[in-house]
Structure 1
Amino acid sequence: MDTASAQVFAQQWVAAWNAHDLDAVLSHFTDDAEFSSPVAAQLLPETEGVLRGKPAIRGYWAVGLEKIPDLHFEVVHVYTGVSTIVINYRNHTGALVSEVLELNNHGLVERGHGTYLADDAAGSSGA
């Protein structure tokens, strides 16, 4: 992914999150995408932090939006790699977070990872 495309992707991603529009966020993911997050491990321990498929990812993010009604992200940096984009952002609590997103040939996320600077990821996310 080139830098310009990564910037467009990140702006669409943050706009969807800030609108709390799960359909728009999930439109960037394949149906069988996998997403891992230490927050998921804390909020939904039965998942062991790994969500498989859009329905599971939607369910996790819906719980997050319910617990964090003032959720808001601000993109700080966007990094590109080979079929990878990293969106570094500041959340509504001021915490820095990075999403590492692995893309397929069509530019859709096949695998994503939420990464945090704190051991208590749920706490730093306000959940």
Structure 2
Amino acid sequence: MHQYKLVNNQREKQSMTITHTLDPWQFAQDWQDGWNSHDLDRIMAHYHEEVVFRSAKAQALVGKGELTGHDELRGYWAEALKRQPDLKFQVQDVFRGHEMIVLSYSNQNNICATETFYFNAEGLVFRAAACHRTPRL
């Protein structure tokens, strides 16, 4: 696991300014490797203890679309991994924005998704949201 050194943003305590010391592609590789290992400790190492995570898949699986903290997030992801033992992610692209990174990736069924990550001053994700491709009807 790489350390992501970040510069604190004075406007918001948990926010930060991404600097050249954060390599978005290295984060993407670490994130992908964590998921593909199915090691929950390795996956959770990217996230602050009080992370807020939003996902429609969480709503469908555990009954709420916004999860707060390691315990809720770990519970959701443990259930997701249990239901999809062949789960694999492949990062397709990485987007860098103001105080955030967005990953575009596909899973083992070639279904596309994106995830947005906001980092705190310690380089941990304190807020994230996943969006999954919605087929056109």
- TM-score normalised to structure 1 length: 0.87
Whether the 8 Å CA contact 1:3–1:80 is kept in 2: the answer is no
Whether the 8 Å CA contact 1:17–1:72 is kept in 2: the answer is yes
- Provide runs of 4+ in structure 1 moved above 4 Å: none
Per the alignment, in what secondary structure is the counterpart of residue 42 of structure 2? helix
Q: What is the match of residue 111 of structure 1? A: 127
When the two chains are superposed, the root-mean-square deviation of aligned CA atoms in Å is 1.4
Q: What is the match of residue 72 of structure 1? A: 88
Whether the 8 Å CA contact 1:51–1:57 is kept in 2: the answer is yes
Higher gyration radius (CA): 2
Deviation at 1:11, TM superposition (A): 0.3
Gaps of 5+ in 1: 120-127
Q: Does 1:83 align with 2:83?
A: no
Q: What is the match of residue 63 of structure 1? A: 79
CA distance in 2, matches of 1:105, 1:5: 15
Matched pairs, number: 117
Deviation at 1:77, TM superposition (A): 0.1
Per the alignment, in what secondary structure is the counterpart of residue 23 of structure 2? helix
Identify the match of residue 22 of structure 1 among 40, 52, 58: 40
- TM-score normalised to structure 2 length: 0.81
Deviation at 1:55, TM superposition (A): 0.6
Deviation string 1:34-80 (CA, Å, 9 cap, x unpaired) is 101000000111x2x11100010000000000000000000100111
Q: What is the match of residue 52 of structure 2? A: 34
Instruction: Name the structure where helix makes up a greater proportion of residues.
Output: 1
C-alpha change, 1:95 and 1:3, in structure 2 (3 Å) is farther
Letter in 1 for 2:89: F
